[in-house]
Amino acid sequence: MEVIHVSAECYPVAKAGGLGDVVGALPKYQCKAGQVAKVVMPMYRTKFLVNNEWVIDFKGKANSGSYFFDYTIIKEKTNKLGVDLYLVDIYGLLDREGIYGYDDDAQRFLAFQIAVINWINQWEHTPDIIHCHDHHTALIPFMLKNCFDFRRLSNIRTVLTIHNAQYQGWMQWKQMDWLPAWDSWKWGDLDWNGALNPLASGIKCAWRVTTVSQSYMDELRYNSNGLEALFEYEKGKCVGILNGIDNEVWNPETDEFIAHQFKTTTVVTGKKKNKQILCDEFELDVNVPLLIFIGRLVGEKAADILPDTIRSVLWALKEKAAFLILGSGDPAVEKELKSMNGNYPGYYHAVIGYNETLSHKMYAGADFLLMPSRVEPCGLNQMYALRYGTVPMVRSTGGLQDTVVDMGDWEGFGIRFNNASVADIHYSVGRAINVYNDKTHFNWMRKYMMKIDHSWERTVTDYTNVYTSLL
C-alpha cells in the first residue's frame, strides 16, 4: 500500500508543535510495518535543508488561478527519516525561514497543495492513499474531486487527520479564484457559514476524517470553533485515533540531549542528577518539587492564567515549589512571564522561545508537568512526561483525559483537575507537593508511568484499518 502524507510540518525538518512530531513518526512506523509511506512538505529554509543532501526529483509548472508558477520537488538522498521525504520549492512563497505567520499563508499553502497534486498527476501510477494533515492541506480532497485538471486522480482515497480544529484556514469567497478551474456547482463543498473554509471542505470531501484522540472526536461535536454541526453530520466517517510517540526520539535511556540517561530501574537517581543540572542552570531550589510548563503560550493552552496562578501559588505556598516555563506565543503573555523573572529568586524562571534541547532536559529533570489546556486534541507533552517519569498535572479534556489517570483512582499516576482556573491549579499544586513528599508513592508512580506503552507501533494498525476500509 502506498500512502502519501502531505503536511506543513515534519520533525526534524520543520516543527512548530505536535503536528510535526506526528508526521515525523507515523510514516516512519508505517514503513517499518511494511507499507510504502512518503512525506511531502514545503521547502522552508531550515537548518535541516542545509545540512542534508538532496536530489531534484521533478520540476513542473502549475497555476493558482491566474497566478502561474514554477515548482521544484527535491528528495532527501539518504533516507534519514526512515521514509522518502520530498520538499516542494516555490520561489517567493515557500522559500522562507518560518513555517507560519505570514500575511500570504493562505496563498502559500494553496500553491503548495496545487503543486503536490500537479506532481502526482504526472506519475505513471496513482498512490493508494493521500493522507492530509490539518487545514493547510485540507483543500486537496476537494481539488481531487472537483478540479478538471485532476480528474485522473479523483478516485484516490483521501484521509484528513485533524490535529487541531481551532485553526481552519478561513479564506474570503473572492479567493476562490485561486483554485485551479473547478466545477462551480460544487461550491457548497467549500462553503461554511458564508466563508471559504478549507478545514470544513476537507471534512466534507475526504473519504475519512480522523482526529488525534477519541475524546477530542466526541468533543468536536459540541465545541469545534463553529464546525459543531458539520462534525455531527459527518460523524459516520470520523474516527478518533490516539497519537503515539516516537520512542526512538523520546527515550530517556538513549536521549543525547540529556546529561544523565536513565531507565525505569534508575529513574530516581537519574532524574535527581538531571534536576540538579536544570536547577543549577536556572538558579532554582533543587529541594522542592519542580513544576514545568512547555508549550505554545496561547489561550488554548491556558497560558494566560499562568502568571496569576504562579503568583498565587508562590505567595501562598512560599518556597514549597518551583516553576520553570518554556514557551513562545502571545506577546502579552510572553512579556508578563518574562517580567516575573527575578521576582521569586530560586522558585521561578521563564525561558521565552522555542528550544528543542531544553525541552528534553526539562522532561528529564522535572518532577511535574503542568498542562491546564482549555483545548487539547491529543497532547504529546504529557506522553513524553510519562516516558521520562515526570508526573503530568492536566485538565480533564481531549487527549489528556484519555492518557492520564488521576492518582486518586485505581493505579492512577497523574493529577487531573476540571477547570483551567487559578483555584483548580493551586489546589492541584498542593496535591503535587503532598505526593512529592510521600517518596514511596511518588517513586511507584514514576516507575509505573514509564512502562505505559504509547508507541506508534501500536497505533499504526489503527491507521492501516482506516486505509484498508477504503480500498
**How many Å apart are CA 377 and CA 199, to the nearest integer?**
15
328 touches ligand ADP by CB under 6 A: yes
Q: Which stretch binds ligand ADP (CB under 6 A): 17-25, 128-136, 179-187, 196-204?
A: 17-25
12 touches ligand ADP by CB under 6 A: no
Select the residue interacting with ligand ADP from 21, 76, 89, 134 (CB under 6 A).
21
Smallest separation, CB 219 to ligand ADP (Å): 14
Cβ–Cβ < 8 Å for 197, 190: yes
In the complex with ligand ADP, the residue whose CB is nearer, 35 or 210, is 210
**How many Å apart are CA 158 and CA 132, to the nearest integer?**
7
How far from each other are the two terminal CA atoms of the chain, in whole angstroms?
10
Name which of residues 100 to 139 contact ligand ADP (CB under 6 A).
Answer: none
* Interior angle at CA 360, CA 358 and CA 365, nearest 5: 90
Q: Which helix (H) or strand (E) holds 89?
A: strand 84-89
In the complex with ligand ADP, the residue whose CB is nearer, 300 or 308, is 300
Q: At what angle do helices 439-450 and 267-282 cross, to 10 degrees?
A: 100
246 touches ligand ADP by CB under 6 A: no
Cβ–Cβ < 8 Å for 125, 63: no
In the complex with ligand ADP, the residue whose CB is nearer, 182 or 368, is 368
Smallest separation, CB 144 to ligand ADP (Å): 27
Task: Please give the size of the binding site for ligand ADP, defined by CB under 6 A.
Answer: 19
Select the residue interacting with ligand ADP from 24, 295, 389, 398 (CB under 6 A).
295
In the complex with ligand ADP, the residue whose CB is nearer, 164 or 390, is 164
Smallest separation, CB 463 to ligand ADP (Å): 17
In the complex with ligand ADP, the residue whose CB is nearer, 385 or 450, is 385
Name which of residues 333 to 392 contact ligand ADP (CB under 6 A).
Answer: 354-356, 359, 378-381
Smallest separation, CB 92 to ligand ADP (Å): 28
Smallest separation, CB 149 to ligand ADP (Å): 34
Select the residue interacting with ligand ADP from 106, 294, 313, 420 (CB under 6 A).
294
**How many Å apart are CA 40 and CA 28, to the nearest integer?**
13
Q: What DSSP string describes 316-329?
A: HTTTS-EEEEEEEE
Instruction: Tell me whether residue 353 is exposed, middle or buried, using C-beta atoms within 10 angstroms of its C-beta: 0 to 12, 13 to 18, 19 or more.
Output: exposed
Smallest separation, CB 23 to ligand ADP (Å): 11
In the complex with ligand ADP, the residue whose CB is nearer, 179 or 380, is 380
Q: Which helix (H) or strand (E) holds 32?
A: helix 18-32
251 touches ligand ADP by CB under 6 A: no
What is the signed CA dihedral for 121, 125, 129, 133, rounded to 10 degrees? -30
Smallest separation, CB 375 to ligand ADP (Å): 9
Question: The sheet that has 322-329: what strands, in order across it?
Answer: 348-352, 322-329, 290-297, 368-371, 391-395, 415-417
215 touches ligand ADP by CB under 6 A: no
Nearest to ligand ADP by Cβ — which residue?
Answer: 18
In the complex with ligand ADP, the residue whose CB is nearer, 111 or 371, is 371
Q: Which stretch binds ligand ADP (CB under 6 A): 32-40, 88-96, 153-161, 289-297?
A: 289-297
**How many Å apart are CA 30 and CA 381, to the nearest integer?**
22
**How many Å apart are CA 76 and CA 295, to the nearest integer?**
30
**How many Å apart are CA 438 and CA 83, to the nearest integer?**
46
Smallest separation, CB 354 to ligand ADP (Å): 4
**How many Å apart are CA 202 and CA 209, to the nearest integer?**
8
Render the burial of 242-279: b for 16+ CB within 10 Å, e for the rest. Answer: bbbbbbebbebeebeebebebeeeebeebbebbbebbb
In the complex with ligand ADP, the residue whose CB is nearer, 17 or 82, is 17
Instruction: Tell me whether residue 4 is exposed, middle or buried, using C-beta atoms within 10 angstroms of its C-beta: 0 to 12, 13 to 18, 19 or more.
Output: buried
> 85 in helix, strand or coil?
strand
Smallest separation, CB 352 to ligand ADP (Å): 8
Q: Which helix (H) or strand (E) holds 22?
A: helix 18-32
Smallest separation, CB 379 to ligand ADP (Å): 4
Binding mask 144-183 for ligand ADP (x = CB under 6 A): --------------------x-------------------
Parallel, antiparallel, or unpaired: how do β-strands 238-240 and 290-297 relate? unpaired
10 touches ligand ADP by CB under 6 A: no
In the complex with ligand ADP, the residue whose CB is nearer, 87 or 369, is 369
Smallest separation, CB 246 to ligand ADP (Å): 10
In the complex with ligand ADP, the residue whose CB is nearer, 243 or 309, is 243
Please report, as ranges, the residues that interact with ligand ADP according to CB under 6 A: 17-19, 21, 164, 294-296, 326-328, 354-356, 359, 378-381
